[in-house]
Amino acid sequence: MGGIKETQDVEEQNVTEPRRSFLQRWPAALMSFGLTAGYGMFATLIGRFLFPSRRRLSGPQYVNDLRSFRLGASMTYVSPAGEKVVLTRVSETGGSEDFIALSSVCPHLGCQVHWEGQNDRFFCPCHNGAFDSEGSPIAGPPKDANQSLPRYELHVENGLLFIDAATEALVDASQNTSHRT
């Protein structure tokens, strides 16, 4: 009789043991999941604090009115974030396609390029890099690496020319200079 009772106790123990151990482990599993999630969130916040993302904010900015921007003329525009852009008028249809807006920063090592009207090209004096009037590389290291001058989007509204350029920082408006040729 005692042997049967012992066998029943062992069987009950075998049935309830996995259930009990599962119930015992469940809070531990929840706790470790919570800790992992908590540490993950903490690490993410620390990462964002130490390495903030540099999203480029941009928007349309007034450049000039079309009537005072003659065919063949060029001007330099400095965005609120300090980006220098060279704008040139290449036609007179009255739309944004009349203009080309190119960064004046050489994509090779960041020197300033300037327009050479007599050679019909942008020239970078640092390593004799050159670009055509549309910003495509034609000589020097930029040509070897096929690096063009970055181009900016333009819009015309009510006879006024606007550019899409970075707006991340405020810069004194007096830094905008015009050079008519």
Tell me which amino acid residue 162 is: F
Query: Token digits for 118?
Result: 């007599």
Enumerate long-range contacts of 47-50, CB under 8 Å, 24 or more apart: none
Q: Does 80 bind ligand FES (CB under 6 A)?
A: no
Shortest approach of ligand FES to residue 36 CB, angstroms?
48
Residue with smaller CB distance to ligand FES, 121 or 162 = 121
User: HSE on the CB side for 24, CA within 13 Å?
Assistant: 6
Of 103, 140, 152, 163, the residue at the interface with ligand FES (CB under 6 A) is 140
Query: Token digits for 19?
Result: 């259930």
Residue with smaller CB distance to ligand FES, 80 or 140 = 140
> What is the Cα–Cα distance from 113 to 130, expressed in whole angstroms?
8
> What is the Cα–Cα distance from 31 to 37, expressed in whole angstroms?
10
Residue with smaller CB distance to ligand FES, 73 or 139 = 139
Residues 99-118 that bind ligand FES (CB under 6 A): 106, 108-109, 111
Q: How many residues bind ligand FES (CB under 6 A)?
A: 11
Shortest approach of ligand FES to residue 71 CB, angstroms?
28
> What is the Cα–Cα distance from 140 to 89, expressed in whole angstroms?
26
Query: Token digits for 18?
Result: 């996995």
Contact 123, 114 (CB under 8 A): yes
Q: Does 81 bind ligand FES (CB under 6 A)?
A: no
Of the ranges 56-64, 91-99, 140-148, 161-169, which one interacts with ligand FES (CB under 6 A)? 140-148
Q: Does 135 bind ligand FES (CB under 6 A)?
A: no
Of the ranges 9-17, 39-47, 79-87, 120-128, which one interacts with ligand FES (CB under 6 A)? 120-128
> What is the Cα–Cα distance from 141 to 129, expressed in whole angstroms?
6
List residues binding ligand FES (CB under 6 A): 106, 108-109, 111, 124, 126-127, 129, 140-142
